[in-house]
A and B are shown apart, each in its own frame.
Chain A
């Protein structure tokens, strides 16, 4: 066996087989097992197990699956193939769309303002660690409650209408944006903050001259993402909590009039609006970023 010997070091073998990891049958191993890799496998295995267990235990109420699927396909064909308005006018639908859009916008504006202040109080590089932890756990709690439940809770307190919808949507938006903004602020270069602090700058000059300028593009991107989410949430809230807007029209067309064609027409309007929002958001993000 050949060996390389360097004075002062232990001898190094030149035989390549000494460095190869092999399986029991003598094949060269091409993949090394790692902690991350086995964690991935374990996670997938558990999720698959839960899925199988779920399918076995669900209460299907003796549904005729073949018939239901066939019906669904014919319904989809009517829905997307023959859209027609019967119970509402195009102008009415546009007005309702504008209402939903405004509900989403109000919740986003309120959420962004609250989140801007909240994130300054809980970003690791600006805030006191105890205060940051308290705010972060409180925010995690608010985020864990589904939006629709917030809206229903506020409906009792404020009555049915735009106030309950906006405040309910705002809760979740603010909690979401506080987390997102705080993460963007934590990305800010520590050097810039330190340099300003060394000059004797106070809290607000640091925020306005170092923190906000360098995280503004991230924040805008998050805010627009949230606006898109808020738009679909406003739809859902309109349908499930009767908060008005085009979501309510969707629900009326489907579950009250049982009119697939009307449902289809309104769906087309909604999808067009969502795609338009996405395009505008991408344009604005490209400009700011």
Chain B
């Protein structure tokens, strides 16, 4: 057999081996750095499962707290929706300036993309810790922390969406002599709206999870509620919090999937 015929299989084997060795190397180095105990790691899973089966089940006392939990859960869900909608509004405006297709001004476009990259790369926990100084343990702390992170993320995805979806129709409109605003309202908005709605739905789901985390840090919302029960070692109430979050997230995922099926 000549080299050309074998090369596909040899290459394939080589790339699999490389991936495998790379993963092994990364694992060994990381385990050494963090002092990770592999055996304890494997043991912890059945241990945790056993512990959950024993303690992590809502009892009568937990059920009596359900109205409180649901109130906090509603609050967290509404914050996630409000954050995502506000951030999407701002992000859409900025993405119009940032996309290459509208040709507003190359310098404005570059600045917008750098600002978006900045907001995307500063972790939301930094915003949360920073805002704790000025806003204290307030619902707005979590709101703005999530807002900055969501704004950065959505601006990038909206720019990509507009570049991808609307390029040809913008060119067509431009050829007819349409100015900026008609291009936006007749071209960009109608053609990219389904994509945008899909991303907004995805961000709402993600933000509910992030809101839980930020709630633990800033003592607001459902995250703080979990943390409170957890630190009081009232694990059955904590489990009810987890169950209610799961129900909410799965419900939102199912609704989003239905909406996506209709609009895409």
Contacts and interface: CB of A to CB of B under 8 A. Distances in A.
A239 to B, nearest CB: 5
Contacts of A43: 197, 201, 259, 263
Interface in B42-82: 43-45, 47-48, 51-52, 56, 75, 78-79, 81-82
Contacts of A99: 33-34
Contacts, number: 222
A148 B138 CA distance: 21
Interface stretch (A120-128, A186-194, A198-206, A249-257): A249-257
A167 B44 contact: yes
Contact of B262 (A35, A162, A278): A35
Interface stretch (B105-113, B167-175, B176-184, B244-252): B244-252
A250 B245 contact: no
Contact of A254 (B43, B45, B132): B132
A239 B218 CA distance: 11
Contacts of A164: 44
B246 A144 contact: yes
Q: Looking at chain A, what size class is its interface with the partner chain?
A: 35 or more
Given A76-B130, A79-B130, A254-B132, A152 B140 contact: no
A60 interface: yes
A146 B212 contact: yes
Interface majority SS on B: helix, strand, loop or mixed? helix
B262 A51 contact: no
A167 B41 CA distance: 7
Interface footprint category on B: 35 or more
A75 B43 CA distance: 45
Given A40-B193, A162-B34, A254 B129 contact: yes
Interface of B: 12, 15-16, 19, 23, 26-27, 29-31, 33-37, 40-41, 43-45, 47-48, 51-52, 56, 75, 78-79, 81-82, 84-86, 117-118, 121-126, 129-136, 138-140, 144, 190, 193-194, 197, 200-201, 204, 209-210, 212-213, 216-217, 223, 226-227, 230, 235, 242, 245-246, 249-250, 253, 259, 262-264
